[in-house]
Amino acid sequence: MRRSPKTGGTPPATRPRRLLLGVTGGIAAYKTLEVVRRFRRLNWEVQVVMTASARRLLGPESFTALAGRPVAHELFPKKRLVTKDSASPHTAFSHIDLARWADVVLVAPATANCLGKLAAGIADDLLSTLLLAVPIETVRNGRALIAPAMNSRMWEHPSVRRNTALLREQGYVIVTPARGELACGDTGPGRLADVEDLAGAVTAAAEASARLPDLAGTRVVVTAGRTEEPLDPVRVLTNRSSGRLGVALARVFRLAGADVRLVCGAVSVPLPASIPATPAPTADAMLVAVTDAAADCDILVMCAAVGDYRPASVSRNKTHATRLTLVLEKTPDILKAVTASKRPPVVIGFSHDPSVAAAREKLRRKRLDLVVANPFETAGADTIGATLVPARGRTTRLSARSKESFARRLAAEAARLLAAARD
Ligand SMILES: Cc1cc2nc3c(=O)[nH]c(=O)nc-3n(C[C@H](O)[C@H](O)[C@H](O)COP(=O)(O)O)c2cc1C
């Protein structure tokens, strides 16, 4: 396993945790005052860094008062800002000091400009410079969080989409903006995530279990998305899965050093460019692709929402009947087929029944190593809460968290199961 890094790891028990909060020039900047208050009350040290635009929208005084320390904003400060125990003995390097000082970094709100600069490696003020100086382990271990907030048209702009995807691939946790009424009067996606979500994401990032396992040399297959069973040449029978959790899992396994393959049904999120993906639009195609990919993998995570029924016959033409009766038949049981023959050392399945008893029954029936029992409501949502039910060991209930944090937790569990299987 990878050794504990000097920075970005779990802080020694003797000192409070440290949050570095970057505030950029979005109208939602005032909401992060509550984040500062929350973490100060939990006894965290909080250092706020504001951009020039943020300071124009909201003066630094409230942040200074709540954080109990001056807001940092100058790349060339007259006075050293960070405590005497910071890593650098040089007073002139606040950006390096601050980047090393933090256990968790959160930028909230993050403007389109901030995302663009970080994705492009531009360092022209204190915040953008220190973000590039944050140790790569901190980023890979999911302790650098970016919470974008902007007008919907800006959020949906291809350049912003591309920059966000690039940052995700590097390991930044993107706290997805919410949908709703925006400050400019428009309605749509782009609202800064709620304080609860921001605080939850910071807390999850600080957990020791957020650290990535070392999976170099391990082959992982993740299925993602939904199957679409044809009814006729234009219509399909499908479900609401977005593929977001499967894609997040694939990305996390990749960050952990594994050789990852995605087997994908239809997905509503962009696929990571760095991960090979085999398309599997129907249950039959998924069976073939999974059987093939799983033959020589170490960990198989069956995250895709494979429809359990399909039309018994597919009409050759688009049907225009006033009333139509569909006859459905069962699709193949992919998990059972994979575990019946030469199975990978670790096979993880999902159950939409939240009951632990049902998960245990599924574990036995399908010869799995772990079942993730999660309720239906999580399909298509940004967060997931679920119970991890392993074949051996303790059942763990995970409260609702971002799909990225959940993916990190599940990857750690998969690494533990693989180590146990190899013992
Ligand atoms: C009133 C006002 C509100 C703004 N709100 C946002 C916002 O929510 N998101 C965003 O990306 N840009 C917003 N902008 C534009 C940014 O402030 C602008 O792009 C600026 O260059 C960002 O600088 P920074 O990233 O260094 O803070 C806003 C501008 C104004 C004048």
pLDDT digits (tens, 9 = 90+) for 166-177: 999 898 999 888
- What the block records as the tokens of 368 is 């799995």
Distance CA 264, CA 259 (A): 16
pLDDT over 50 (residue 5): no
Distance CA 129, CA 138 (A): 16
Convert the pLDDT of each residue in 31-40 to its tens digit. Answer: 999 999 999 9
Convert the pLDDT of each residue in 364-416 to its tens digit. Answer: 999 999 999 986 555 567 788 899 999 998 999 988 888 888 898 999 999 99
Q: In this structure, are 145 and 257 located in the same domain?
A: no
The range of the structural domain enclosing residue 45 comes to 18-210
How large a percentage of the chain has pLDDT more than 70?
Answer: 91
Convert the pLDDT of each residue in 196-233 to its tens digit. Answer: 889 988 988 887 666 788 898 999 999 999 999 999 99
- What the block records as the tokens of 354 is 């939240």
Per-residue pLDDT, 80? 61
Q: In this structure, are 151 and 239 located in the same domain?
A: no
Residue 58 lies in a domain: yes
The pTM assigned to this predicted structure is 0.74
| C-alpha 226 to ligand 1 mean position (Å) | 37
pLDDT over 60 (residue 9): no
Give yes or no: 184 in active site: yes
Boundary of a domain, candidates 210, 236, 259: 210
Q: In this structure, are 178 and 300 located in the same domain?
A: no
Residue 7 lies in a domain: no
Residue 11 lies in a domain: no
The more confident residue out of 199 and 273 is: 199
* 1 confidence band (pLDDT: 50, 70, 90): very low
* 79 confidence band (pLDDT: 50, 70, 90): low
The more confident residue out of 5 and 374 is: 374
User: By CB neighbour count within 10 A (0-12 exposed, 13-18 middle, 19+ buried), where does 223 fall?
Assistant: buried
* 179 confidence band (pLDDT: 50, 70, 90): confident
Residue 274 lies in a domain: yes
| CATH code of 196's domain | 3.40.50.1950
Boundary of a domain, candidates 210, 230, 247: 210
Boundary of a domain, candidates 149, 176, 210: 210
Residue 287 lies in a domain: yes
Residue 342 lies in a domain: yes
Instruction: Report the 10 Å Cβ neighbour count for 293.
Output: 23
| CATH code of 261's domain | 3.40.50.10300
What value does the mean pLDDT take over residues 314-331? Answer: 93
**Ligand 1 probe mutation, 53, 75, 114, most atoms within 8 A of CB:** 53
Q: In this structure, are 237 and 384 located in the same domain?
A: yes
350 is in an annotated binding site: yes
DSSP of 108-150: EEE-HHHHHHHHHT---SHHHHHHHHS-HHHHHTT-EEEEE--
Residue 5 lies in a domain: no
Q: In this structure, are 378 and 296 located in the same domain?
A: yes
**Atom 2 of ligand 1: nearest residue by CA position:** 27
Q: In this structure, are 231 and 123 located in the same domain?
A: no
231 is in an annotated binding site: no
User: What is the number of domains present in the chain?
Assistant: 2
Indicate which atom in ligand 1 lies nearest the CA of residue 117: 25
